[in-house]
Amino acid sequence: MQKFWEKNKKLLTKNKQGLTFVEVSVAIAVLSITILASTAVSATYLRNRISIKKYQANNEELSVALNSMSKDIRMSNSLDAGTGVRSSIRIESNVDSSSITYAFNSGSLTRNGILVASNVEGGFFVSGDPTTTIPRITIRIKKEGLPGIPVQTTVSMRSGYTPTP
């Protein structure tokens, strides 16, 4: 082993100049490109994450509103007359016989005049004649000014429905 070091001593001590300017410049350039690429990927990820969180929060708000309306409609025993597309519906609660009115007005959804969801657009589509059969009510709702798919559900009233004259 000693002979190995003695033979290669000249090679080890001869070239102690360090790195050249070109080598250092290339290393810095590669490091800079790597940092820029990782920063761009991170920024894109964060931007997409924020938009997905907003989209998710909007859909959750719309789902809560739809679930509440669906429950009220299923538990009602009458619906005001009229079929087709409407901006409001009035039902009578089967629980306490109170009148409930849902309406889309000026970018908001209200229940008996109380705000349920803001910055929304939507409507109701009543199929079937409420004076003779149990109607089916399709509710469609979407956040205004935001990309995304409208949320929609179709509900029919349960037994105990009384057709209105």
Q: What is the pLDDT of residues 88-146, one digit of tens each?
A: 999 888 778 889 999 999 889 999 999 988 889 999 998 877 667 778 899 999 988 76
Q: What is the pLDDT of residues 56-99, one digit of tens each?
A: 888 888 888 899 999 988 888 878 877 788 899 998 887 788 89
Residue 55 has pLDDT above 80, yes or no: yes
What's the pLDDT at 66? 92
| pTM for the model | 0.66
Full DSSP string of 2-48: HHHHHHHHHHHHH------HHHHHHHHHHHHHHHHHHHHHHHHHHHH
Q: Spell out the alpha helix ranges (H) of the chain.
A: 2-14, 21-74
Domain ranges across the chain: 40-156
Would you place residue 164 in the very low, low, confident or very high pLDDT band (cuts 50, 70, 90)?
low
Name the token pair of 136: 């089916």
Residue 160 has pLDDT above 70, yes or no: no
The partner residues of 89 in beta bridges, in order of sequence, read 102
